[in-house]
Amino acid sequence: MKMGYLRVQRILKNRRIIIGSILVFLIILFTLLTPFIFPEGPHVMEVTERLKAPSKAHFLGTDSVGRDLLCRLLYGSRVSVGVGAAVAVITMVFGLIIGLYAGYYKAVDNIVMRICDSLKSIPSILLAIALLAIMGSGIGNVIISVSIVYTPDVARIARAAVLTAREQTYIEALEALGAGANRILWLNIAPNILSSVIIQVSFIFATAIVTEASLSFLGVGVPVPEPSWGNIVYEGRAVMFQAWWLVVYPSIFIAVTVFGLNLLGDGLRDLFDPQNS
Amino acid sequence: MKKYIFKRILTMIPVFFITSIIIFSIIHLTPGDPARVILGDNAVESEVLALQEKMGLNKPLPLQYVNWLTGIFKGNLGESLFIDQPMTEIIWTHMKPTVSLTIYALLIAAGMGITCGILAARYKGGILDRIVTLISLCGISVPNFIVALLLMLLLAFSVHLFPVAGYKPMSEGIGIHVWYLTLPALSLGFIHMALIMRMTRSSVLEVLNSDYIKMARAKGVSEFAIMTKHALKNALLPIITVIGQTAVTLLAGAVVSEAIFNIPGIGQLVVTSIGRRDYMVIQAVVLVIALINMFMMLILDILYAAIDPRIRLDSR
């Protein structure tokens, strides 16, 4: 009975990774294939085809200036997923570096972690808005500001993992053998804490997509006409009651992507870190 | 306990100073002169100089920071460039709708979240549990502006249950106030309901699997008493944590809901201030919300210590 239950649970857990990876893979595939599916780009307007409901000619309908919604959503996925991926990579690199040194050196820890605490005391969306208000909108600035907002999260996780890892006897042995701090940090501790960092980063990937969408929706993120999922909803909102598809389909794109990433993150956590799941 | 509270308040001081430095630098260390950015490219030189004078930008940076900080301690948060009112008054008037909205959303999130979470844990593997798991997965996958727009389409446009947008202050009657805030609060609370559900479920499950619950069962304690007296009390700590964090996130998340439903709260103030490049307002709002956040965290930590003696003893 107990064994059977455990097995079922394990399959369930694996299923999360499988479904999550398939979703994420499909989205990345579509993102990469977009220029081949719609070689004409996301800016083609057909004024006669304004606000057309989904049909065979326009699979998901058209927007208020007659641009094909599917085309814009697919090009938008390059921006939205791109921003998410860039933020994930940047926060991982900086979070890992900060976390490693803060966990290893007490002096660094005190300063860096207080800065992280302070950054986290400003709610994420508000901090991102404030940064963008000053820096101005644009894809690059969105990536920078969202990365600043989420790097402390990765740093904190990495630091906690380092604190546990450095108590292990093999680290003491390495220290006794005279290994340098950098060697220990990068060759011995980093590989051991990478799994917890990757789990956190997979969630940040998802959160960054949501944050970008919210910022663009508020009009401070990726500026129109460059399509991003957030600003497609932003534009669609004005005509939402005549053209529901302009809000519903982008929502589905965002939800499915974020769902896939969260599922993948959950699955990874179960796999790497069964105690915390 | 007193010692713990004192210590906890002491740790707030450096965080407050660093936060204030961060907020200050966001505005003052960005490339370009804020006065020039605010006035735009076509500004006349004399106007720029006048604004620099007004904002105190012609003084050295550390001095500007000290002036700003001492102003805060005197209750002066700076001056808006567009609204001719003291900053504290501007923030206070815009804070009221936001606070109403946040409390309403928190009630929805915590009420639904805790109830469903407990039931899901109690009947683990049942239909309700599956629904809860599904909702909590969906909830964290959907940004709140999307929930807001979908609710608007469904409950305000297709079925005319609630007003599409707008806000009625409490002075026009509590009923109409709540009625207008229902959709915004639902959309704002939904995601956090999902989080609280998830947390409650896992934390109650953990307690239900512990030895003392098995012991209570073996003694023949009724299922109801086990849930209310034994399980819930011990599962409460992580739940309170999530609720506390939720309250703060809701306050900030209200920015988006307010923009959608046209509620004259803090969020709308921030969004319009960005459009007008009224950086002083943005700076003040961010500071006030960060301060509220810090105090909430303080209260939470004190609450934990009151509930769980291990925390206050550990910190010695």
CB atoms within 10 A of CB A129: 29
**Each residue's pLDDT tens digit, B232-261:** 777 777 788 778 878 878 887 888 888 888
Task: State how far residue A246 is from chain B, nearest Cα, in angstroms.
Answer: 11
pLDDT for position A9: 63
* Cα nearest neighbour of B137 on chain A: A259
Kindly provide the residue ranges of all beta strands, DSSP E only, lying in chain A, ordered along the sequence.
none
Confidence band (pLDDT; 50, 70, 90) for A277?
very low
Which residues from chain B sit within 8 angstroms of residue A259, using beta carbons? 137-138, 141
Indicate whether this complex's ipTM tops 0.85. no
- Residues within 8 A of A (CB atoms), B 134-193 only: 137-138, 140-146, 149-150, 152-153, 157
Whether residue A159 is predicted with pLDDT greater than 60 in this model: the reply is yes
**Each residue's pLDDT tens digit, A131-150:** 888 888 889 999 999 999 99
Please tell me which of the candidates B30, B141, B144 has its beta carbon nearest to residue A134: B30
**What CATH number does the domain containing A194 carry?**
1.10.3720.10
Task: HSE, CB side, 13 Å, CA atoms: give it for residue B243.
Answer: 21
Confidence band (pLDDT; 50, 70, 90) for A154?
very high
Interchain pair B248, A214: CB under 8 A: no
Whether residue A171 is predicted with pLDDT greater than 80 in this model: the reply is yes
- Interval B127-138 mean pLDDT: 83
CA nearest to B258, candidates B118, B144, B175, B179: B144
CB atoms within 10 A of CB B28: 18
Q: For testing the chain B interface, which of A16, A113, A125, A233 should be mutated: the one with the most B CBs within 10 Å?
A: A125
Please tell me which of the candidates B30, B277, B289 has its beta carbon nearest to residue A126: B289
Over chain B, what is the mean pLDDT?
A: 83
Tokens matching residue B33:
């002169």
Whether residue A87 is predicted with pLDDT greater than 50 in this model: the reply is yes
pLDDT for position A151: 94
**Each residue's pLDDT tens digit, A208-241:** 999 999 999 888 888 878 889 988 988 888 888 8
Backbone angles phi, psi at B300, to 5 degrees: -60, -50
Whether residue A1 is predicted with pLDDT greater than 60 in this model: the reply is no
Cα–Cα distance measured from residue B241 to residue B71, given in angstroms and rounded to the nearest whole number: 33
Total domains, chain A: 1
Tokens matching residue B295:
């105090």
Cα–Cα distance measured from residue A28 to residue B271, given in angstroms and rounded to the nearest whole number: 33
Q: A94 burial class (0-12, 13-18, 19+ CB within 10 angstroms)?
A: middle
Which residues from chain A sit within 8 angstroms of residue B19, using beta carbons? 118, 121-122
> What domains can be seen in chain B, in order of their start residue?
15-73 (no CATH), 95-264 (1.10.3720.10)
Q: A1 burial class (0-12, 13-18, 19+ CB within 10 angstroms)?
A: exposed
Cα–Cα distance measured from residue A189 to residue A211, given in angstroms and rounded to the nearest whole number: 31
pLDDT for position A92: 95
pLDDT for position B225: 85
pLDDT for position A4: 58
Which residues from chain A sit within 8 angstroms of residue B157, using beta carbons? 241
The domain of A133 spans 2-276
Tokens matching residue A224:
């129109």
Q: In the block, which residue shows the tokens 């006035």?
A: B39
CB atoms within 10 A of CB A195: 15
pTM for the predicted model, two decimal places: 0.85
Cα–Cα distance measured from residue B191 to residue B182, given in angstroms and rounded to the nearest whole number: 15
CA nearest to B240, candidates B193, B200, B206: B200
* A-to-B residue pairs, Cβ atoms closer than 8 angstroms: 126
- Interval B181-198 mean pLDDT: 87
Interchain pair A134, B27: CB under 8 A: yes
Pick from A29-33, A109-113, B245-249: least confident? B245-249
Interchain pair B146, A237: CB under 8 A: no
pLDDT for position B106: 92
Cα–Cα distance measured from residue B269 to residue B92, given in angstroms and rounded to the nearest whole number: 11
Pick from A28-37, B204-213, B306-315: least confident? B306-315
Q: For testing the chain A interface, which of B20, B33, B141 should be mutated: the one with the most A CBs within 10 Å?
A: B141
Q: In the block, which residue shows the tokens 């820890």?
A: A109
- Interval B68-95 mean pLDDT: 82
How far, in Å, are A92, A193, B108, B256 from residue A100 at the CA level?
12, 9, 40, 35
Which residues from chain A sit within 8 angstroms of residue B286, using beta carbons? 122, 126-127, 130
Task: State how far residue B268 is from chain A, nearest Cα, in angstroms.
Answer: 10
Whether residue A60 is predicted with pLDDT greater than 60 in this model: the reply is yes
